[in-house]
Structure 1
Amino acid sequence: MRTSLNELQQIEDYLLRQENNPAAAGFEVRLALQPSLQESVLWQQQTYDLIQAYGRMRLKAEIENVHQKLFHSPAHQRFRQSILQLFSRK
């Protein structure tokens, strides 16, 4: 079964808890009565979770890349020494 764009928008509003959604109560009733809608909501939530996890993974990789450049490149040796001095015991 192909989900309509309208239903996808309603699911998104429900999952993202849009404050300006006056039909939230009606959607929750439909959700309780329609197992297929429950399944659609579950799949949409899993999709959001995967997108969020992918974004975090990419951000961590980007931060690690910057770390490698700043702390292991000869061009940034002065920066590295400055940072290490901040954390060294005197």
Structure 2
Amino acid sequence: MTEIQAIDQHVQGSAAPGDKLLFDAKLLLDAELPQKVQWHKQTLALVNQYGRKNLRGVISDVHNQLFTQPEHQSFRQKILRLFS
């Protein structure tokens, strides 16, 4: 297993118990590994943030299409009736 895979499994909590124990020992012995884990966590957070931002954009585009284009008027009226 590569180091990146081991770090990812550790961060995601998906490592097998034996692999987790081995990784925890490596964290104690390798002075650079904790920093690599921190960088990995930050990278995952940025990727997740980008994904959420991208999804919000897609949802906004769909919303704009459904509630502004004339061909979706009947759908728009049905939705508005549900919430009135």
Could you state the TM-score of these two structures normalised by the residue count of structure 2?
0.88
Residue type matched to 1:42 in 2? Q
What's the offset of the Cα at 1:60?
0.7
- 1:38 is matched with which residue? 34
Unaligned stretches of 5+ in structure 1? none
- 1:49 is matched with which residue? 45
Unaligned stretches of 5+ in structure 2? none
Q: Is the 8 A contact 2:10 2:20 kept in 1?
A: yes
How many residues in Structure 1 have an aligned counterpart in Structure 2?
A: 84
The runs of at least 4 aligned residues of structure 1 exceeding 3 Å deviation read: none
1:22 counterpart SS class: helix
What's the offset of the Cα at 1:6?
1.5
- 1:11 is matched with which residue? 7
What's the offset of the Cα at 1:63?
0.5
- 1:61 is matched with which residue? 57
- 1:28 is matched with which residue? 24
Q: Matches of 2:74 and 2:66 in 1, distance apart? A: 10
Aligned residues: CA RMSD? 1.5
Q: Is the 8 A contact 2:6 2:15 kept in 1?
A: no
Q: Percent identity, aligned pairs only? A: 38
Could you state the TM-score of these two structures normalised by the residue count of structure 1?
0.83
Q: Matches of 2:26 and 2:16 in 1, distance apart? A: 19
The one of the two structures with greater contact order (alpha-carbon pairs below 8 A, sep at least 6) is 2
Evaluate the alpha carbon distance shift between residue 18 and residue 34 of structure 1 in structure 2; reply closer, same or farther with a 3 A threshold. same
